[in-house]
Amino acid sequence: MVAKDVIRIIQDNKNLGMKDRLKTNLSQVLPFIEGNVIEIGAGFGDNTIGFCEVANNHNRHVLVIDPFESDWENMPESYRYPYEIFKKTMHPYEGLYSLCKKSSLDEEVKIDMENLLPIAFAYVDGLQSEEAVLSDLRLMEKYDVKLIGIDDKNRGGVKEAIEIFLEESKYNLIETQENNREAYLWIK
Ligand SMILES: C[S@@+](CC[C@H](N)C(=O)[O-])C[C@H]1O[C@@H](n2cnc3c(N)ncnc32)[C@H](O)[C@@H]1O
């Protein structure tokens, strides 16, 4: 029953604008799914604030995994978001989220994830090579994250990673619109 409800919500909201869609999807699915929220790759925190507001309304916590400047030497320039901007944006939301300031490829993020269990929703928007996205998706599967959103579903590495993951994992793709930037995967 839950699967049907969650899939219907994601499909019904497919015509909303991106930012509104992410927030509305989360606020409507959380009543159906137990657990916390995770964001891999937060940038300036533009979506993190929405995740925090919604999660807080449902008594859930948000974990952000992002190394910010501590890993700039391993990132293409377009992924380099100054930590100070994120920190300033997130100032009003202190206490509603935790920051694990590490690469999602670092084994140590598992400690923070284990402290967050169960996890209802994860938004994957970090490093976008096929290898990195696949690693992030496998990490989400390891912790039985129920619903996964992935940004830039049509970008080379991301697209390939989603295809491989759908073949190998216990997740199904929720069909939405081709021009929606993000893909949603639901646990089988
Ligand atoms: C495009 S931005 C994210 C934008 C944000 N999700 C939004 O919607 O506003 C990409 C982010 O990924 C982070 N990042 C880069 N490599 C990463 C890694 N290995 N693990 C986690 N985050 C990473 C960067 O620091 C940057 O903040």
- The answer to whether 32 and 96 have CB atoms below 8 angstroms apart is no
The per-residue pLDDT for 188 is 84
**Which residue among 38, 66, 73, 139 has the greatest number of ligand 1 atoms within 8 angstroms of its CB, and so is best to mutate?**
66
The CATH architecture that domain 3-70+105-187 belongs to is: 3-Layer(aba) Sandwich (3.40)
| Strand (E) or helix (H) holding 38 | strand 36-40
Which pLDDT tens digit goes with each residue over 7-23? 999 999 999 999 999 99
Residue 85, φ and ψ in degrees, nearest 5:
-70, -45
Helix axes 48-57, 18-29, angle to 10 degrees: 20
Cis omega before residue 92 (within 30°)? Answer: no
CA 158 vs. chain centroid, Å, equals 13
pTM (two decimals) = 0.97
Q: Can you give the residue ranges of every domain in the chain?
A: 3-70+105-187
Distance 159 CA to ligand 1 centre (A): 17
pLDDT at residue 1, rounded to an integer: 61
| 130/74 Cα distance (integer angstroms) | 15
